[in-house]
Chain A
Amino acid sequence: MRLSRIVETLGLDTLVPIEADVEITGGCVSDLLSHVLASAAPGNLWITIQHHANVVAVAQVAGIPAILIAHGKRPNDEVLEQARSAGVTLLGATESSFELAGRLHEILVAER
C-alpha cells in the first residue's frame, strides 16, 4: 500500500511531507534503535515513541521511508529539518504504538 494512502486511511499527521510516495512493505514497532536495524526490512514503516535526531539516521541507514511517532510526541525543529533534508517522512499520531500497529496491520493484511 502506498504511503499516502496509509496516511489518509489512518488519519495521521504529516510532520515532514512525503517526498516519494513509495510502497510500504510492512511495519516495525520498536523503541530500541539496534533492534530496528536488526529487524526492519527496507520499505517498512517504523512506529516508535523516539523522536530525536538519531532516529532519522537509523531510518536512512535501514532504508525506512517513513517514521510514525506515536503517543502524540513531537520532534523539535532541528529533527524535522534533518528528516526533510534526508527525504525521510515523519508522521505523528496521538494513539499508542499498540493501537497504531494494530490498525496498520489490519489495512495491510486486508489489501493482500
Chain B
Amino acid sequence: MRFQIQAGDIEHGGSASARIKSELTRSGVDPSTARRVGIVSFEAEMNLIVYSDRGGSLTVRVEPEAVVVEIEDSGPGIEDIELAMTPGYSTAPEWATDLGFGAGMGLANMKVNADGFEIWSQPGEGTRITCRIDRAGSAAPGRKEGHETE
C-alpha cells in the first residue's frame, strides 16, 4: 500500500493510517500487529502533514514475518535527530498544538511501537524513516514482546 500525504492536509489527517489498519486486519494480519502499524503510520502521517514542505509518501509492505512502514519526504529535514526523538520536544506550530498535535511524542511513539527503527535526515534534503513491526507469533530473530524500546 502506498499513500501520498499532502503537507497541511489536516482535514484528512489519520485517514490513511485508519485505512492501513483495517486493510491489514482484513488481510489476516493479527490485531495487535495491525494496531502497532496503525500507530506508527498515524504518527508518520501527521509528521508529513504538519512538518514537511511538500508532503511525502507512506508505504506499507506486508512480509511473511513483519510489516514494514517506509516514510519519505523531500524537506525540510531534521536539524538534530536526537533532540527530535526526545519525548516532549516539539517544534509544532500553534495551530497544530491547538488540535492536540505536537506533544513531542511522534517519533518516540514510532520507535516504541516498532521492532526496528531507522531514520535518516538531512536539512535541506529530506527525511527517510523505516520501521519494521514483527508480526505477532512470527519467529523473526530479535523479536521482542510488548512495546519495549530498544
Contact = CB atoms under 8 A, between A and B. Distances in A.
Interface of A: 31-35, 37-38, 42, 48, 50, 52-58, 60-63, 86
B15 A34 contact: no
16 contacts: A33-B103, A34-B104, A34-B109, A37-B43, A42-B35, A54-B13, A54-B99, A56-B14, A57-B13, A57-B18, A58-B14, A60-B14, A61-B17, A61-B18, A61-B42, A62-B35
Contacts of B126: none
A22 to B, nearest CB: 14
Given A34-B104, A54-B13, A61-B17, 13 more contacts: A33-B103, A34-B101, A35-B103, A37-B39, A55-B100, A57-B15, A57-B17, A60-B14, A60-B38, A61-B18, A61-B21, A61-B39, A63-B31
Interface in B106-132: 106, 109, 112
Contact of B100 (A31, A62, A63): A31
Contacts of B21: 60-61
Contacts of A58: 14, 42
B100 A37 contact: no
Contact of B101 (A33, A42, A48, A56): A33
B10 interface: yes
Contacts, number: 75
Nearest to B49: A54
Contact of B109 (A38, A60, A63, A86): A38
Contact of B105 (A31, A35, A42, A50): A35
Interface of B: 10-15, 17-18, 21-22, 31, 35, 38-39, 41-43, 46, 99-101, 103-106, 109, 112
Most central of B11, B21, B100 by chain A CB within 10 Å = B100
A37 B14 contact: no
